[in-house]
Structure 1
Amino acid sequence: MKSLPMQQSGAARFLRGLSSSRSPLSPVLTRSRAVPATLPSSCCCPSHNARAVRLYSAPQRPPSPPLGLCPFPRHKECWSCHTALSAADVFCRSCSKIQPVALGTSYFELLSAHTSLSCQPGDCDGASAEDSIFYPKFALDLQQLRRNFLTLQQSVHPDGFTKKSPEERKYSEVQSSLINKAYQTLREPLSRAKYMLGLYNVKVEEGEAPVNQELLMEVMEVREAIEEAEREEDLEEVRQETKAKMNETIASLDEAFGAGDLTLAKALTIELQYRVTMEKALKEWDQP
């Protein structure tokens, strides 16, 4: 079999370098760290995780992930007419003026890709009846997400605010930029998983090795298949297998987030990083 030349795609070179001791993903240099499967201490409500679990288990509550977030304030005031608004409101319900981005507003809230439950007495320390517990969702309807994005982006685009006040022009630019970044992040499972973990102060480093060492063997096999391939058809079966395993990892991620298991969610996100890289390398293959 003829090997591919060294100037092959960057993704393929990346796979080829995984066995090197200098590779940023080498298990010799980097080991994954376990993370607690509870909300971090930086959550505004230290006792909130246990309370959120009770809410999740209660039969009268709709099903939602047991890990809720409640960064305060969950509401804001219109800068123009002083009407009380929710933190994620882009426009005032009273005067219709565009609003600044509230501190702590997540991409999920901005694009309506979450579940919110009203705070009940004792749910969150210092919460009022106007506050709510925010539950991000990993599994998203991507078509609905895009519709939400397009509708919102059209309503805040700076071109529509050229004759407005300086405040409104500034807020439209900020909102437009944030909405675009939110969509680009949530549309892809890997960036969505990293962002969702980040909401709980769990960070996934680019160089972290997978907990499942068998995955490294898969990387080696994909690398060898790429180097030995002479025709596009030679990689078709490998591509299908890689895609199927990546979909399995994404499904497992949804289950991990749904169960509130952040340790498993982080491990699966690291695994997904590898699978995305393998898929990219297979797509970028060029006939030698």
Structure 2
Amino acid sequence: MWRGAARTLRRVWRAPGRPCSSGRGDTTSAPRSVSNCWSCGCQGAPAGGDPLFCPSCRALQPPSPEPDFFRLMDCGQSFTVDIPNLKRRYQQLQRLVHPDNFSQKSQTERDYSEQHSTLVNEAYKTLLTPMSRGLYLLKLKGMEISEGTDTNVDLEFLGKMMEVNEKLSAARSEVETEEIQAFVRDEEKGLIEDLGHAFKQGDLQKAKELLKKMKYILNLDEKVKQKKTLS
């Protein structure tokens, strides 16, 4: 069974298949480090990458210490991601590295399976939503945004957010709340489109400013959901 699984995983990891990205972002092509297999000592076993099984003894190898989520999920390094393909890739990988498949294997392989499964989950969740995907892209480029909302946002936008917050607090009917939610969703859609353009043009500073605004919008959207739940 594991010979077949290993062959399948080699095809999954090496062949680009259907790209996760629907745009033409830069693909990650950093060379994979190579080391001996921890189990049989076979030379040429990947140090946590491609394929995940040793080509000789089929032992599961350790995950990469510095994984690239886009490469792991078979995506181009782009803000624009094909979500259905991302979901298929996630399911495909989890079927191969899920801990249940390694219950009768060595403790080392069980540990590696847990690590791989956790890594795949983290990669999927990170690339699934525009906010986390954008933050991750910035991080890969050496830029980060502090936790929480940032007051270093243009005053016009902050004023608009304060006004909408006040309207939400004063809303007494479902119709009023629905109108506010529609406004918030429209703002979010516009920010996502602008982020796509900013990343495509390589304007990381613009992308950073847009992601700061996105934090406010998502926070407001959460407040709307809570309001609707309580009403």
TM range (shorter): 0.7 to 0.9
Query: Which residue is 2:183 aligned to?
Result: 241
Identify which of 29, 32, 37 aligns with 1:74.
32
SS in 2 for 1:140: coil
In 1, are the aligned partners of 2:126 and 2:136 still within 8 Å (CA)?
yes
| Residue number in structure 2 paired with 1:200 | 141
Cα contact 1:75–1:84 (8 A) shared by 2: no
State the 1:84 CA deviation: 5.4
- 3-state secondary structure, aligned to 2:227: coil
Give the match for residue 17 of structure 2: none
TM-score by length of 2: 0.78
Indicate the structure with greater strand content. 1
**Distance in 1, Cα, partners of 2:154 & 2:175:** 29
How big is the shift at 1:64?
A: 3.7
AA of the residue aligned to 1:272: M
Alpha-carbon offset, residue 76 of structure 1: 2.7
Q: Equivalent residue for 1:92?
A: 53
Give matches, 1:1-288, under 5 Å: 64-65=24-25, 74-77=32-35, 79=37, 80=40, 81-83=42-44, 85=46, 88-89=49-50, 91-92=52-53, 94-95=55-56, 96-114=58-76, 136-205=77-146, 206-286=148-228
SS at match of 2:34: strand
Structure ranking higher on relative contact order (CA contacts 8 Å, 6+ apart): 1
How far residue 167 of structure 1 moved from its aligned partner, in angstroms, is: 2.3
Unaligned runs of 5+ in 2: 1-22
Work out the CA distance in 1 between the residues paired with 2:214 and 2:55: 44
Normalized per residue, which structure has more helix?
2
Aligned counterparts of 2:154 and 2:32: Cα–Cα separation in 1:
39
Among the aligned pairs, what percent are the same residue?
31
In structure 2, relative to structure 1, the CA distance for the partners of 1:160 and 1:109 (3 Å cut) is same
Alignment size in residue pairs: 203
- Report how far residue 87 of structure 1 moved: 6.2
Q: Distance in 2 between matches of 1:153 and 1:74?
A: 21
**Aligned-residue offset at 1:90:** 5.1
Contact 1:90 1:100 in 2 (8 A): no
Conserved 8 A contact 2:54-2:61: no
C-alpha change, 1:140 and 1:65, in structure 2 (3 Å) is: closer
Q: Can you give the 5+ residue segments of structure 1 that lack an aligned partner in the other structure?
A: 1-62, 115-135
